[in-house]
Chains A and B, each alone.
Chain A
Amino acid sequence: MPPTAPGVAIAAHNLGKSYGVGWALRGVSLSVAAGAGLAVFGGNGAGKTTLLRLLATLSAPSLGTLHLLGHDALRDPRRVRPALGVVGAQSYLYADLTVAENLWLYARLYRVPEAGGRVAAALAAVRLDGVAARRVRACSRGMQQRLALARATLHRPAVLLLDEPDSGLDADGQDCLARLIAAGRAAGQAVVLATHDQELGVALCGHALILDAGRPIYSAPALAHTPAEWRARCVLAQSRSRVA
């Protein structure tokens, strides 16, 4: 029997990560239901990327527990990985393959049914259908980010983990991102979105968490505060850290 409540896609308890010289992340507990969204705010070095990497099972925590889709993700990470869609600091794309070839490859590696239609739909969703034959190396940073989004959502993962996915995106790209997240959540995807853009986080996620210096310092429903208030809380937390 799954140790987490039904409908809970991500359940983390007291997650921590140490790289040997202090804690990059400590004491993070969170729960994200299927179809729900969690925005993670915080300044540079707050621990957002570390948290996302732990949730993606790309890095093993130094302490704590993590259950994804009811499975112990620390004991058997390979079981849950195919159910994750990850956009990280890197795009995971072959630079010398074309836009379409990359998606075809990942469609096959994730055993996506009806891959032809899904690849075409994914390209259209990020508005890259006009450059399908272009090599990734020749694509701009923003286009690569759009393609990374298409790659991460191609196999319709149950959990979508996005680490600053808006990085490098223009207004049109941000619109694509918003549509993908909204559609994913409507289809039951659990979304964790780490971003510096409080407006985006509040608009796309139901709950928000502020990290600072590797610790969770505030958590509330996203709409409990305006984006400006969330921003002010982040700035205040950073100021306190500097003083401390």
Chain B
Amino acid sequence: MPPGFWGQVGSLLAADLRREWRGRAVVGLMVSFVCVTGLILNFTFNLALESRVATAVGAFWTALLFATILGLGRVFVLDGENGVWEGLTLILLDPGGLFLAKLGSNLLFLTVLDSVAVPVFAALYNLPLLHGAVLLPIALGTLALGAAGTLFVPLAGASTAREILLPVVLLPLLVPVLIGAVQATVAALTPATAGQPPWTGLLAACAALFLGSGYLLYGYLLDD
């Protein structure tokens, strides 16, 4: 019996995961980058200051942001190998389904990245990042980064100046995500702050915006 929509999405997701398991081309790159960045920033910043938590959280999210751009750019390069990406534009699957499959694999890669980055930054910066209250902004920030990356990487990837265009396109769009993620994480780590804007709500809104846009607009990005 031919698979339905979710069966197709699952097949594509499984193919991406199998490729990563065998090639280890994306997660290893992101994890290495985030660890090295965390270490370098740890030497750079003066963590004895009062703003230690905000500085450390900013370093954490900045490292995650750049690791995401690096990793998802690599995913697109892999999809370009043998023209796989072009082949996927011809299949009998709604572009929204293609977006969900790519989002699924990208989010799994980012979850692995988070699972390494959180304890590394917790140890290097003496931050209680493993606290339950912090996991919500991290989860929402990861979802927003993954959705935005999945949506915009093919757009930038179609250009010959992909390596330059991707951060130029993506970084300005991710500024609200970065601000929301940093502030929501700081708020979760310092609960004494009252009257704060709803940073977690901003993150959730960004994630929903990128998810909805990706599902609805992915087909337009695939066409010439």
- Chain A, residues 91-133, CB within 8 Å of chain B (1/0): the string is 1111111000100011011111101000000000000000000
- Could you tell me if B90 and A56 are in contact, using CB atoms closer than 8 angstroms? yes
- Chain B, residues 182-224, CB within 8 Å of chain A (1/0): the string is 0000000000000000000000000000000000000100011
> Smallest distance from the beta carbon of B104 to chain A beta carbons, Å?
15
Q: Which of A109, A113, A144 is B12 in contact with, Cβ under 8 Å?
A: A109
> Smallest distance from the beta carbon of A31 to chain B beta carbons, Å?
22
A169 close to chain B: CB less than 8 A:
no
- Could you tell me if A106 and B223 are in contact, using CB atoms closer than 8 angstroms? no
Complex CA–CA separation, A105 to B87 (angstroms):
12
Stretch at the interface among B36-44, B49-57, B76-84, B128-136: B76-84
Known A-B contacts A109-B91, A109-B92, A113-B1; A92 and B86 likewise in contact (beta carbons under 8 Å): yes
Residues of A near B1 (CB, < 8 A) are 113
Complex CA–CA separation, A155 to B92 (angstroms):
10
Complex CA–CA separation, A60 to B220 (angstroms):
13
> Smallest distance from the beta carbon of A163 to chain B beta carbons, Å?
11
Residues of B near A233 (CB, < 8 A) are none
A90 close to chain B: CB less than 8 A:
yes
CB proximity to A under 8 Å, residues B1-35: 1-3, 7-8, 11-12, 15, 18-19, 22-23
Known A-B contacts A81-B89, A105-B15, A112-B2; A92 and B82 likewise in contact (beta carbons under 8 Å): yes
Known A-B contacts A90-B82, A109-B93, A111-B3; A96 and B18 likewise in contact (beta carbons under 8 Å): yes
B137 close to chain A: CB less than 8 A:
no
- Could you tell me if A108 and B11 are in contact, using CB atoms closer than 8 angstroms? yes
Complex CA–CA separation, A90 to B91 (angstroms):
16
- Could you tell me if A94 and B82 are in contact, using CB atoms closer than 8 angstroms? yes
For A157, give the chain B residue with the smallest CB separation.
B90
- Could you tell me if B223 and A60 are in contact, using CB atoms closer than 8 angstroms? yes
- Could you tell me if B83 and A91 are in contact, using CB atoms closer than 8 angstroms? yes
Q: Number of A interface residues at 8 Å Cβ cutoff, please give it.
A: 35
Q: Which of B7, B11, B82 is A95 in contact with, Cβ under 8 Å?
A: B82
Interface centre among A58, A101, A155 (most CB of B within 10 A): A58
| Majority SS at the chain A contact face | loop
- Could you tell me if A111 and B12 are in contact, using CB atoms closer than 8 angstroms? no
B180 close to chain A: CB less than 8 A:
no
A162 close to chain B: CB less than 8 A:
no
B95 close to chain A: CB less than 8 A:
yes
- Chain A, residues 65-90, CB within 8 Å of chain B (1/0): the string is 00000000000011001101010111
Complex CA–CA separation, A115 to B8 (angstroms):
13
Q: Which of B3, B83, B91 is A88 in contact with, Cβ under 8 Å?
A: B83
Residues of A near B23 (CB, < 8 A) are 96
Complex CA–CA separation, A58 to B85 (angstroms):
11
Q: Which of B12, B219, B224 is A60 in contact with, Cβ under 8 Å?
A: B224
Complex CA–CA separation, A88 to B90 (angstroms):
12
- Could you tell me if B83 and A92 are in contact, using CB atoms closer than 8 angstroms? yes
Complex CA–CA separation, A106 to B11 (angstroms):
9
Interface set of A (CB-CB < 8 Å, partner B): 56, 58-60, 77-78, 81-82, 84, 86, 88-97, 101, 105-106, 108-113, 115, 135-136, 144, 151, 155
26 CB contacts below 8 A, A to B, read: A58-B90, A58-B224, A60-B223, A78-B95, A81-B89, A82-B92, A84-B90, A89-B83, A90-B86, A91-B83, A92-B82, A92-B84, A92-B86, A92-B90, A94-B19, A95-B19, A95-B82, A106-B91, A109-B11, A109-B12, A109-B91, A110-B92, A111-B3, A112-B2, A113-B1, A135-B22
Interface set of B (CB-CB < 8 Å, partner A): 1-3, 7-8, 11-12, 15, 18-19, 22-23, 81-84, 86-93, 95, 219, 223-224
Other CB < 8 Å A-B pairs besides A93-B84, A108-B7, 13 of them?
A78-B219, A81-B89, A90-B87, A92-B87, A92-B90, A94-B82, A94-B84, A106-B91, A108-B3, A108-B8, A109-B8, A111-B8, A135-B22
